[in-house]
Amino acid sequence: MASGYNVTALKTIWIKECTRFLRIWVQTLVPPAITMTLYFVIFGSIVGERIGDMAGFSYMEFIVPGLIMMSVITNSYSNVASSFFGAKFQSNIEEMLVAPVSTATIIAGYVGGGLARSLLVAIIVTLVSFAFVENVQIHHAGILVLSVVLTSTLFSLGGLLNAVFAKTFDDISIVPTFVLTPLTYLGGVFFSVSMLGEAWQWVAKMNPILYMVNAFRYGFLGYSDVNMAVALTVIIGFNIALFAVVYSLLERGVGIRT
């Protein structure tokens, strides 16, 4: 009986989350396409012509995986952060917490919504890239799918963590502005880590987003600045750790129960 409640709850939360961002698709799906188009035009076409090749690929080909991953990170995080905080703000989350539904099911429902939005945005950005890159390669489909799903899950959990502690709507914009954006730009989206000096390479390798971008780039181009086994281990490790933290916080009602 309990498992039946959880399956129903999971489907309900996931459908609600998908309906939420699809209902306002002009605000959730169109802006990433416009933003990434500007990145392709400015960094790929204009700046890329002056840079030339990067790691044996044209600069446009090199940045395509990074830009897709950037959109995945941003959208998965913001979707869950805004939705969960909205549920807190309207006191809807309390109804789920008192229902015969497991904490893991609630987390899975919200993460599933963030995953759905980020994957849809990734497809849109990939289609946009076709207008700028003639041959979009897929070197390893398995690594490609695995890295994007794990990364989206990770940042959906991060958005949930942010929403748990947020007290105002302004609080959910602090982490994307002051943490995610700098780490993403320094995560190898626009450059190869091999271009940096040895000391700065060590600094760059402390950035977890570097491993996500390079795992996804390997899936596309077959090139990575880091070892794939290490990259996937880092991403999976962060997923497990963040899930454990979020689960513990929701179980104890931190940021929700007064």
pLDDT digits (tens, 9 = 90+) for 185-223: 889 998 888 888 888 889 889 999 999 999 999 999 999
Q: Give phi and psi for 253, each to the nearest 5.
A: 70, 25
pLDDT class of 93 with cuts at 50, 70, 90: confident
pLDDT class of 229 with cuts at 50, 70, 90: very high
Q: What is the pLDDT of residue 257?
A: 61
Segment 27-38 mean pLDDT: 92
Percent of the chain exceeding pLDDT 90 equals 59
Per-residue pLDDT tens over the stretch 138-149:
889 999 999 999
145 or 56: which leads in pLDDT: 145
Q: What is the pLDDT of residue 1?
A: 47
Task: Give the bridge partners for 169, in sequence order.
Answer: none
169 or 44: which leads in pLDDT: 169
pLDDT higher than 90, residue 115 = yes
- Please answer whether residues 207 and 186 qualify as being in contact, where contact means their C-beta atoms are separated by less than 8 angstroms: yes
* CA-CA-CA-CA torsion sign (176, 80, 130, 63): positive
pLDDT higher than 60, residue 82 = yes
Model pTM? 0.92
pLDDT higher than 90, residue 227 = yes
